[in-house]
Amino acid sequence: MKNIKMMVVGFASAVAVTVALSTTLLAKSDAPVVSETSVEASRLQSLAKFTKVLGIVEQYNVDGLSIDQLIDKALQGLLSNLDAHSTYMDKQSYESLKTQTDGEFGGLGITVGMRDNALTVIAPIEGTPADKAGIKAGDIILKINDKSTLSMTIDDAVGIMRGKPKTPIDLTIVRKGEADPLKFHIIRDIITVESVYTRKIDNNVLYIRVTSFDKKVAADVRTAIKKNAANSNGIILDLRNNPGGLLDQAVELTNLFVGEGVIVSQKGRNKADDVSYSATKSAKITDLPLVVLVNEGSASASEIVSGALQDLKRGVVVGEKTFGKGSVQVVMPITETEAIKLTIARYYLPSGRTIQAVGVIPDIVVASGEVKKHENQFNIKESDLKKHLESELQKDGGMIDVTEVNASNKTIITPEQLDKDIQLKEGVDIIKALIIVKGK
Kindly tell me if the per-residue pLDDT of 394 is higher than 60: no
Active-site residue identified among 220, 311, 341, 425 = 311
What H or E segment, with its residue span, contains residue 316?
Answer: strand 316-319
Q: What is the pTM of this model?
A: 0.72
The pLDDT-based confidence of 57 (bands split at 50, 70, 90) is very high
pLDDT score of 94: 83
What percent of the chain has pLDDT above 70? Answer: 81
From the list 93, 300, 302, 327, the catalytic residue is 300
Q: Choose the catalytic residue: 139, 155, 302, 325.
A: 325
Q: Please state the domain extents for the chain.
A: 2-65, 87-190, 196-365
Whether residue 29 has pLDDT greater than 50: no
Mean pLDDT calculated for residue range 48-62: 94
How confident is the prediction for the chain on average, in pLDDT?
84
67-101: per-residue pLDDT in tens? 999 999 999 999 989 988 899 998 888 877 766 55
**For 321, phi and psi rounded to 5 degrees?**
-55, 135
The pLDDT tens digits of the residues spanning 302-319 come to 999 999 999 999 999 999
pLDDT in the model for residue 383: 56
Question: Which contiguous run of DSSP H or E holds residue 395?
Answer: helix 392-395
Domain 196-365: give its CATH code. 3.90.226.10
Q: Is residue 221 pLDDT above 80, yes or no?
A: yes
**What CATH number belongs to 87-190?**
2.30.42.10
Question: What integer pLDDT is reported at residue 388 of this predicted model?
Answer: 53
Asked if 52 and 25 count as a contact pair (C-beta separation under 8 A), the reply is yes
Q: Is 72 a catalytic residue?
A: no
Q: How far apart are CA 352 and CA 266, in angstroms?
A: 10
List pLDDT tens digits, range 323-348.
999 998 888 999 999 999 999 999 99
CA separation for the pair 245, 372 (Å, rounded): 35
Q: Is residue 276 among the annotated active site residues?
A: no
User: Is 372 in the active site?
Assistant: no
CA distance 212 to 242: 5
